Structures are given as structure tokens and as C-alpha cells.
Structure 1
Amino acid sequence: MANLRVHSDRLELQLTAAEKSLAFRRSDVVVQREDIRSAIITEDPWIWVRGIRSRGSVVPLVVAVGEWKSHGGTDFVLVKGKRQAVVLDVAGEQYSRLVVSTNRAVELIESLKLADAATPDE
């Protein structure tokens, strides 16, 4: 399963070799922290998969990895089974949304909040 790492300036989605192969990618997905607009946890990630698969692999309700294009932009999807997932809306990046299954959704949201709290308000 992919590893999500929150840094002070970016969020890294570190893909396994198999996930890179299924997504037809050579590199990990990196999103700048300042471009993350919202983050939510969902129990049913499949309802968040929108548009048409443009690059990647899918076995419905089993696994979806890759890029989906819609009128809302391009989404990166990494959904496995019926696991809990995090949905990140992003502005100004390669992707407009990331939908990622993770066993640590709550910890990810908390770490994103902590990073926001460390930034002083003006």
C-alpha cells in the first residue's frame, strides 16, 4: 500500500513498484501543502471516483490506480477494496483531486491540521 508522508511544505504519496506499474507512472505523487484546499475521510471511496480513466488500471470494486479525467480536472486515484480513504481537493497542481485508500486516514488528517496550526496567522 502507498505511503503518505506529510512534510512542512508538501505531501508525498510514495507508490510501491506495483502501484507505479498499474498507474503507468515512474515517480511518486507530490502535492504542495499550500495547494491542498480540503481533506475528508470517506468510508466508500468508490463514490469519489469520477470521470473516465485516462491512464491506469481498474478492476471495479477491487482496485483503481491511476488518472481519471472529468470536467472538474484530472484526479489521481489509488483505491483498494472497501477500505477507508482520504479525499484531497487540490488547486494549482497536476491533479485537482487525490482519492487514496489508507489505514491511517485519521492520523493523516491530524498531521495536516498540525502543519496548518504551525503556520502563523496574519
Structure 2
Amino acid sequence: MAKVSIDGGSLIVEMEGLDKLWALKSRLTFPLGHVRGATADPGIIKERKGFRSPGAHIPGLITAGSYRVHGERIFWDVRDAGKAVVIELADEQYARLVVQVSDPRATVALIESAVTAN
């Protein structure tokens, strides 16, 4: 699971517990100016993942790490698709972040309000 927060002008995504190991990342930080928005999307888990580079994928259990599909790099950290949030980015190493959070609605609202205020 990931913890998403806003600090000043930055979006911070921190992986918790064993997700740090599976995703091979513990923290990602992006300027709010590069965040296009966020949506709660439990159906995203059915989307083609592409090539893993590096990360972990056990169908039905976990998708974590960096993946490449259609020329885009996407970061995944999802075990429970029902709690998946997709964060769209611009001008960053990742085009999207797909992360599991404890409260998808609250996370989307936090990101959307920060992006709008920025």
C-alpha cells in the first residue's frame, strides 16, 4: 500500500511495508505542476501491464514496480484493485502511477484540490 501526501509544492508517494521491496522504491516525489490529476479506478488492474523493468507481478496477488507499455513508463503498487488510484503525470519519468491507498476517494480529493490550487 502507498501513502500519498502533499508537502508544499510536491506530491509524495511513500510505499509502506513489504511494498518497498516488491516495488523496489520506497518514495517518489513529483512537483505539483507535473501532476495532471487522479482518479479511483479499480478496473485498471485488468489493463495490460507491459514489460516489467524491474518489479514483481503475481497475477491476482500483486503488481509492483516499473512497467513499460506503448512507450510509456508506469509505476505500479497494487494488491487490492478496489483501492487503486491512478495519478497522471506530465514531463516525468513515469506517465502514470497506479497505487493502492487506504481511502481512494480521499486520496483523489487531496490530489485534485492540490492540483487545482497550484
TM range (shorter): 0.7 to 0.9
Alpha-carbon RMSD = 1.8
TM-score normalised according to structure 1 size: 0.83
**1:7 — aligned with what?**
7
Give distance in 2, aligned partners of 1:112 and 1:82.
Answer: 19
Kindly tell me: are residues 16 and 112 of structure 1, through their superposed partners in 2, closer, same or farther at Cα, counting changes over 3 Å? Answer: closer
- For 1:1-122, what aligned pairs fall within 5 Å after superposition? 1-25=1-25, 27-119=26-118
Compute the displacement of 1:10 (Å): 1.3
The CA distance in 2 between the partners of 1:49 and 1:34, in whole Å, is 28
3-state SS of the aligned residue for 2:112?
helix
Determine the C-alpha separation between the residues in 2 that align with 1:8 and 1:81. Answer: 29
Report the Cα offset of residue 117 of structure 1. 4.1
Relative to 1, partners in 2 of residues 1:39 and 1:48: Cα closer, same or farther, differing over 3 Å?
farther
- Paired residue secondary structure (2:18): helix
TM-score (norm: length of structure 2): 0.86
Aligned-pair distance for 1:106?
Answer: 1.0
Unaligned runs of 5+ in 1: none
> Structure with the greater relative contact order (CA < 8 A, sep ≥ 6): 1 or 2?
2
In the alignment, the residues of structure 1 paired with residue 17 and residue 83 of structure 2 have an alpha-carbon distance, to the nearest angstrom, of 22
Q: Percent identity?
A: 26
Asked which structure has the greater CA Rg, the reply is 1
Asked if structure 1 preserves the Cα contact closer than 8 Å seen for 2:34 and 2:90, the reply is yes
Where do 4+ consecutive residues of structure 1 move more than 6 Å? Answer: none
How far off is 1:107 after superposition?
0.9
**Distance in 1 of aligned mates of 2:91 and 2:3:** 23
